[in-house]
Structure 1
Amino acid sequence: MVSQSIWGNALKKILHVVTNVAHYEDESHLTGLWLSELAHAWEVFAESGYTQTIISPAGGAVPLEPRSLKFPNYNAAAKDWHLDPLKMALLENTLSAGDVSATDFDAIYFTGGHAVMYDFPGNTALQNLTADFWEQGKLVPYNAQQEMIERGAGYSKALLPFIPHVVVDGNLVTG
């Protein structure tokens, strides 16, 4: 369950942001959405009754990171998503960051993984959308820890992977 002290009772609509990047500069080195980054969050929010929408910086198809579909990364949440045709269809033709408005959602959630470092930072529509969420006082969870560390952010994590650990600073939520 999502902590009510963080999310409150009125939160109903969550916007997930995923990547469009399919490969690194070397086109033979594939990347994409680290599926468990979306699947875990989606599962928790769904259990709490939230309406969820997926967008990507450019809109359109969302490639999957091949390594996220292999042991030990291919966990139950990722496997359940990957084997569900209705959920996989949500990744076939996403809206772009410019197609949605912060006023229509209560929070924005950025998936992590490697590929997001290539299309999240330079996308003006995504930057503007994020600023709108922030300026409207809405929650802005963020999960790309390496980029934050490189930019000087304080960083802490749970002792073991997948153990709950949340840090809240105003309306910025990480974990």
Structure 2
Amino acid sequence: MKYSYLIVLALSLSSLTANSQQINSKQQNNDQKNVLFVLTSHDELGDTGEKTGFWIEEFAAPYYNLLDKGVKITVASPKGGKAPIDPRSKAEASQTEATKRFNKDKSAQEIINTTVKLEEVEAEDFDAVFYPGGHGPLWDLAEDKTSIALIETFNKQEKPIAFVCHAPGILKDVKNAEGEPLVKGKNVTGFTNTEEEAVQLTNVVPFLVEDMLKENGGIFSKAANWNVHVVKDGNLITGQNPASSNKVAETLYESLK
């Protein structure tokens, strides 16, 4: 009888432990944050005959920064499928620890090659949205009605919305709840006129990010060319250039807590 009692007690304790582990596992899953990354599908650099796309550092650094913290990331683009990487961002001078990690990461590369179609995602399924830059977004995402509506929905839900480098240009036609430009009266930053001049694309891009943000009523600030500069105003997070991408991710993660 004594041994039978001990066996029953052991089984009961084992069952309680298993149930506790299941509850903890479910709790962890419920606590996991979901962030949507949106990439450009555009790969033509104006009329130059050269290619463009998204800047790989501006994807890779935030991607690994958040992934390593347990954030679940979904990557979408207007057309879905393979998102184009700007060839310039693959140059040796543009490589960082994050891009080198990406170059060896078959799983991450597959995610880039099989992005979800943007029209298939819902803001309700995510805790935040992040837009990497590169010149491509100035041609498609800045005009994409699905993207515009998505950002407006995230904003209405008061969820973090983050952009880096050229990506703040995507806010060109995005409105706030009052129907005014979302950036009006907001502290913002983005790829500067002098940085665009430095890469000799001032007369190639459809518009200058700095000029657009100012024209839409944004309170624009900047650091010296290529220096880290990130601005947070409410749920809006903007970064100036590729060097700012990692800090944008850190600021976004803090906003998720």
Aligned match of 2:234: 170
SS of alignment partner, residue 162 of structure 2: strand
Aligned match of 1:113: 134
* Aligned mates of 1:120, 1:155 — CA distance in 2: 21
Q: Which of 144, 149, 163 is equivalent to 2:210? A: 149
Runs of 4+ more than 6 Å apart? none
- Mapped pair 1:86 → 2:107: yes
* Aligned mates of 1:162, 1:41 — CA distance in 2: 17
Q: Which of 19, 30, 45 is equivalent to 1:24? A: 45
Q: TM-score if structure 2 supplies the norm length?
A: 0.59
1:110-160 C-alpha deviation (Å, 9 max, x unpaired):
101111111111111111111110111101112231454212033334568
Aligned match of 1:47: 68
Aligned match of 1:5: none
Aligned match of 1:7: none
- State the 1:56 CA deviation: 0.8
* Aligned mates of 2:109, 2:102 — CA distance in 1: 7
Q: Which has the higher contact order (CA 8 A, sep 6+)?
A: 1
- Mapped pair 1:64 → 2:85: yes
**Partners of 1:97 and 1:129 within 8 A in 2:** no
Paired letter, 1:131: E
* Aligned mates of 1:109, 1:95 — CA distance in 2: 15
* Aligned mates of 1:21, 1:104 — CA distance in 2: 25
* Aligned mates of 1:50, 1:20 — CA distance in 2: 24
Paired letter, 2:92: F
Paired letter, 2:36: L
Paired letter, 2:126: F
- Mapped pair 1:128 → 2:192: no
Change (3 A) 1:75 1:89: same
1:44-100 C-alpha deviation (Å, 9 max, x unpaired):
111221111111122121111111011211222112112211110001121122110
- Mapped pair 1:103 → 2:124: yes
* Aligned mates of 2:110, 2:158 — CA distance in 1: 32
Aligned match of 2:195: none
List alignment gaps of at least 5 residues for structure 1: 1-9
Paired letter, 1:171: N
* Aligned mates of 1:159, 1:150 — CA distance in 2: 17
Paired letter, 1:41: P
Larger radius of gyration: 2
Q: How many residue pairs are counted as aligned between the two chains? A: 165
**Partners of 1:98 and 1:129 within 8 A in 2:** no
Q: Share of identical aligned residues, percent?
A: 30
SS of alignment partner, residue 77 of structure 1: helix
SS of alignment partner, residue 76 of structure 2: strand
Aligned match of 1:4: none
